[in-house]
Amino acid sequence: MAAIELTDRSRASAAREGSNEETESDSISLAAKIAERENGDITEMDSQYEAAEESASLSGRARSVPVTLRPNTHNNASTQIKICNTPPTSPTESSSAVEKRACRICQSESGVFVRPCACAGTMGDVHESCLNEWLARSNNNEICEICHQKYSKSGNVLQPIWKWRKPRIEMTNLIELASVVCLSLCLWYMLALTRERQFIERVFYAGIPPRSPDIARILVTLLIAATLAGGVMNIVTRVCRYINKQKAIHFIDSQANKKRSA
């Protein structure tokens, strides 16, 4: 009986050892499969990352490339990051950003700028039309309020007629124009009356001395002509003054700014 019990115990222990060996072999094969799968996933991730990096380097624009890293062995959560492939800034772009210019009056970045005074930087650029309008409204003597230097200019230029300001017509101007028209009609009537009375033929050709009505007509004609000439000269002066106001000053770069640019 003792021999039978020993045989049963040996068989049970052998069966246990065989089952343990099978369990160990199964765990080893499972671990090998997991390792192979992880290696395959890592290889596939590396290939995806290399392809994404190559495509991002080929494209000129900046874009985000999602990349999945190797899963952590301690915790099964995967980490995801974004790599931004930004192209380097060229020297021309940086210089253009630094040299961005704008008018100091209207703050516009378009148009042609001049630097007629000693101001530098962003305060030196100004539009010619904006500066002309500013001088017309401020009524100053063409001196910069910032650097107190006189603006550099090369003369006056008449603006296009569609840019002219509307004239301010008052009642006195209308009365003056009406009086000039009336005086012109009166002068025409006096000259017609003198011709009708044959004043020139009687006095200059026939030698007859002028009569008192002839002298009165001559004095009235001279008075009307003088008044009419004064009214016409006043209107012409105002018209010329209005046209001169439509001229714009042509500004040029000052010598200080020319030296800075050189």
Chain centroid to CA 249: how far? 22
CATH homologous superfamily of 95-164+250-261 equals Zinc/RING finger domain, C3HC4 (zinc finger) (3.30.40.10)
CA 148 to the chain's CA centroid: 27
* Euclidean distance between CA atoms 69 and 67, whole angstroms: 6
Q: What is the DSSP letter of 80?
A: E
Cβ contacts of residue 211 below 8 Å, gap of 6+? none
Please report the pLDDT score of residue 81 as a whole number. Answer: 42
What are the average pLDDT values for consecutive 10-residue runs of the chain, which has 262 residues? Answer: 51 57 60 62 60 54 42 44 47 51 87 86 85 82 82 83 86 92 94 86 83 88 94 93 86 79 68
SS3 label, residue 157: strand
Please tell me the distance from the alpha carbon of residue 13 to that of residue 24, in angstroms, as a whole number.
16
